[in-house]
Amino acid sequence: METFNRLLLMAKQYYVRFIFAAICMLIAGGMQSALPLIAKPAIDEIFINKDISALKWIPFAVVGIFLIKGLCNYGQNILMSSIGLRIVTDLRNKLYEQIQKQSLSFFTEHSTGLLMSRITSDVMSVQTASSEAVTALVKDSFMLVCLVGVIFYTDWKLALIAIVIFPLTIYPIARFGRKMRTVTTSTQITMGTLNTLLQETISGTRIVKAFGMEKYESKRFAEENERLFKLFMKAVSVNAISSPFMDFLGGLGIAAVIFYGGYNVLHGHSTPGTFFSFIGALLMLYEPVKRLTNVNNTINQGIAGAERVFSIIDRKPDIEDKPDAAVLPPITKSIDMENVSFRYEATPVLNHINLTIKAGEVVAFVGMSGGGKTSLVNLIPRFYDVSAGRVLIDGRDIRDVTQQSLRSQIAIVTQQTILFNDTVKNNIAYGDIKRTDEEIVAAARAANAHDFIMKLPKGYDSNIGELGTKLSGGEKQRISIARALLKNAPILILDEATSSLDTEAEIEVQEALDNLMKGRTTLVIAHRLSTIRNADRIIVLVRGKIVEEGTHEVLMAKKGEYYRLYNLQFKDEGNGNDRLAKDLA
How many CB atoms neighbour CB 167 within 10 A?
8
Instruction: Enter the DSSP assignment of 315.
Output: P
From the list 458, 378, 389, the residue with the least C-alpha distance to 422 is 458
- Residue 434 CA to residue 312 CA, distance in Å, equals 33
**Number of Cβ within a 10 Å radius of residue 106:** 17
Strands 388-393 vs 396-397: parallel, antiparallel or unpaired: antiparallel
The pLDDT value recorded for residue 287 is 73
Degrees to nearest 5, angle at CA 246 with 244 and 251 = 90
388-393 and 334-344 beta bridge pairing: antiparallel
Neighbours of 350 (CB within 10 A): 26
Nearest to 454 by CA among 469, 441, 436, 467: 441
Residue 523 backbone phi and psi in degrees, to 5: -115, 120
Q: Are 194 and 225 in contact (CB under 8 A)?
A: yes
CB 420 within 8 A of CB 426: yes
Residues in the chain: 585
Residue 261 pLDDT:
67
- What pTM, to 2 d.p., does this model score? 0.69
Q: For residues 364-401, b (16+ Cβ closer than 10 Å) or e, as one string?
A: bbbbeeebbbbbbbbbbbbbbbbeebbbbbeebebbeb
**What is the rounded distance in angstroms from the CA atom of residue 130 to the CA atom of residue 542?**
55
Distance CA 390, CA 318 (A): 16
Render each residue's pLDDT in the chain as its tens digit; 585 residues.
Answer: 677 777 777 777 888 888 898 898 888 888 887 877 777 777 777 777 777 777 778 888 888 888 998 999 899 888 888 888 888 888 888 888 888 888 888 887 777 777 887 887 788 777 777 666 777 777 777 877 887 887 787 777 777 766 766 656 555 666 666 676 677 677 767 777 777 777 667 666 656 766 677 787 788 888 888 888 888 787 777 766 766 766 676 666 667 667 766 767 676 666 777 767 777 777 777 777 767 766 766 777 777 778 888 888 888 888 889 899 999 988 888 999 999 999 887 788 899 999 999 998 989 998 887 788 888 998 999 988 999 999 999 999 999 999 889 988 888 887 777 788 788 898 888 877 778 888 888 888 888 888 888 988 899 888 887 777 788 877 888 888 888 888 888 888 888 766 555 566 667 677 777 777 788 898 988 776 766 777 889 999 988 899 998 988 898 888 888 888 888 876 643 444 444 334 433
CA distances from 237 to 233, 286, 294 (A): 6, 21, 12
Angle between helices 2-11 and 52-101 (to 10 degrees): 100
Q: What span, in angstroms and rounded, lies between the C-alpha atoms of 564 and 364?
A: 17
CATH number of the domain located at residue range(s) 2-313 in this protein: 1.20.1560.10
Give the residue among 384, 392, 327 at the shortest CA–CA distance from 354. 392
Closest-CA residue to 83 (of 128, 23, 24, 138) = 128
Q: Give 228: exposed, middle or buried? Use CB within 10 Å, 0-12, 13-18, 19+.
A: middle
Q: What is the pLDDT of residue 180?
A: 67
Give which of 271, 253, 284 is closest to 163, Cα–Cα: 253
Distance CA 37, CA 65 (A): 12
CA end-to-end distance (rounded Å), the chain: 73
The answer to whether 373 and 367 have CB atoms below 8 angstroms apart is yes
Number of C-beta neighbours around residue 179 at 10 A: 18
| pLDDT value of position 340 | 92
